[in-house]
Amino acid sequence: MEQEPLLMIPGPVPVPQRVRAAMTRQAINHRGPEFGAAYADCVRTLKALFGTENDLYIISGSGSAGMEAGVANFARDKSIVSLVNGKFGDRFAKIGQRYGMVTVLESEWGTPLDLAALERELEAGAEIVTMVHNETSAGIKNPAPEVGKLARKYDALFIMDGITSIGGDDVRMDEWGVDVAVVGSQKCLAAPAGLAAIAVGERAWDRISDKRPFYLDMAAYRKSGKGTPMETPYTPAVPLFLALCEACKMIEEEGVGARIARHRRMADAVRAAAKGWGVDLFPKLDAYHAYSNTVTAMRIPGVLTDKDLRGTVKKFGIEIAGGQDHLKGKIFRIGTMGGVGAQEILATLAAVQFALKTSNFAAGDGVEAAAGVLLG
Ligand SMILES: *Cc1c(COP(=O)(O)O)cnc(C)c1O
């Protein structure tokens, strides 16, 4: 029997059958009550995942569209400090450069951000901070509460990419002082790719630019979102909305706390496997940074190549991710996002262990270590 490949990459993630089925319905009017109710339902669930009571809107576009919406509406012509310790932090800086004046504070990918340097920039008058909460390219979780505190202290806006933390890890937008936060549909929410959600706080609304983009104009989203039924300014990707709505129902059924705990346990299991194998975790941490709870980045041992590793794993119908840009060939990443659980993780880890051993790396029993964690 031909099996579907198992995607254990950090997004897109496998989409449950219920969610896929929701996409195949006959078209509905996006200005009607049914669409409005679906939109409102998604917003309610997403607000809980963002940890916010702020306004929240759904954009037809991938996560990067949400990042760009945040910068283009709220950071236009402003002085921006971009914190970078991986590929997506770098993307945020590049988006910033299209709209404002960016100072990049870059640390080596997978190493801690420099909070002292951030404070110096804020003291010198920076108006905006951009940061990726969970840096997917390096498997490191960045210090959102500390950055939020600093941004508030100097009256700057904090725009946060929560694309691979929201829905899989604890995020408290309001408590942490995040002014704009973004998530993408194809990561921890386990919905199809193509939607982003953006939450906007009062301080950001007060400073919204007069020179806004047309399609991603957040003031237009706000206006359309106020009515009954709730609407979007232009025709949204209706099938994706319906799928996201079903994914949100599944999240409600599981419970937000249980979902975050499950993501933690899965990442713990992968880290336990790495330890069991004798494979190094990639990130270098300090007291403010942590290992990601949704994607684990590990160094590829010197005796084998990326192809030996991922090529062998793929023979079992399982896809894991390599490194991006200069980390190509140096690291591999296992995503543990969305609806996956013990079955998928054990299969993936067994395949990786086999690949390590058959390529002459003297791996210990990581699968057994992970199994212990999964059983709790
Ligand atoms: C996946 C991802 C994005 C957005 O990517 P898209 O391909 O535009 O959906 C942005 N930031 C992070 C941290 C991501 O993991």
Do 125 and 176 lie in one domain? The reply is yes
What is the per-residue pLDDT for 375?
A: 94
- State the Cα–Cα distance between residues 183 and 187, nearest whole angstrom: 8
- Of the candidates 223, 254, 285, which is a domain's last residue? 254
Mean pLDDT of 196-203: 98
Burial class of 147 by CB neighbour count within 10 A (0 to 12, 13 to 18, 19+): buried
> Distance from the CA of 369 to the center of ligand 1, in angstroms?
31
Same domain, 212 and 324: no
- Give me the mean pLDDT over the 51-73 stretch: 98
Pair 230, 320 in one domain: no
Ligand 1: residue whose CA is nearest its atom 5: 63
pTM score, whole prediction: 0.98
Q: How far is the CA of 121 from the centre of ligand 1 (A)?
A: 26
For a substitution probing ligand 1, which of 141, 159, 163 has the most ligand atoms within 8 Å of its CB?
163
pLDDT of residue 172: 98
Per the structure, the count of domains in the chain is 2
Same domain, 248 and 290: no
Q: Do 273 and 232 fall into the same domain?
A: no
Asked if residue 321 and residue 217 are part of one domain, the reply reads no
Residue 180 has pLDDT above 80, yes or no: yes
1 assigned to some structural domain: no
DSSP β-bridge partners for residue 184: 196
Instruction: Answer whether 96 contacts ligand 1 (Cβ < 6 A).
Output: no
Q: What is the pLDDT of residue 195?
A: 98
Q: Is residue 244 located within the same domain as residue 266? A: no
Read off the pLDDT band of 31 (50, 70, 90): very high
State mean pLDDT over 56-75. 98
Is residue 321 assigned to a domain?
yes
Over residues 112-126, the mean pLDDT reads 98
> 197, 224, 254 — which closes off a domain?
254
**Structure letter (DSSP) for residue 327:** G
104 and 36 fall within a common domain:
yes
Q: Based on the domain organization, do 80 and 185 belong to the same domain?
A: yes
How many residues are present in the chain? 376
Q: What one-letter code names the amino acid at 298?
A: M
Rounded Cα–Cα distance for residues 68 and 3 (Å): 37
pLDDT of residue 140: 98
The CATH number for 23's domain is 3.40.640.10
**C-alpha span between 282 and 175 (Å, rounded):** 30
CATH of the domain at 355: 3.90.1150.10
Q: Over the stretch 300-337, which tens digit does the pLDDT of each residue have? A: 999 999 999 999 999 999 999 999 999 999 999 999 99
Range of the domain at 198: 17-254
Minimal-distance CA residue to ligand 1 atom 4: 63
Are 32 and 92 members of one domain? yes
Mean pLDDT of the chain: 97
Both structure tokens of 222:
């706000």
Domain end, chosen from 207, 228, 254, is at 254
- pLDDT-derived band at 2 (thresholds 50, 70, 90) equals confident
Q: Per-residue confidence at 376, pLDDT binned at 50, 70, 90? A: confident
Alpha carbons 268 and 297: distance in angstroms, whole number: 12
- Give residue-wise pLDDT tens across range 339-351: 999 999 999 999 9
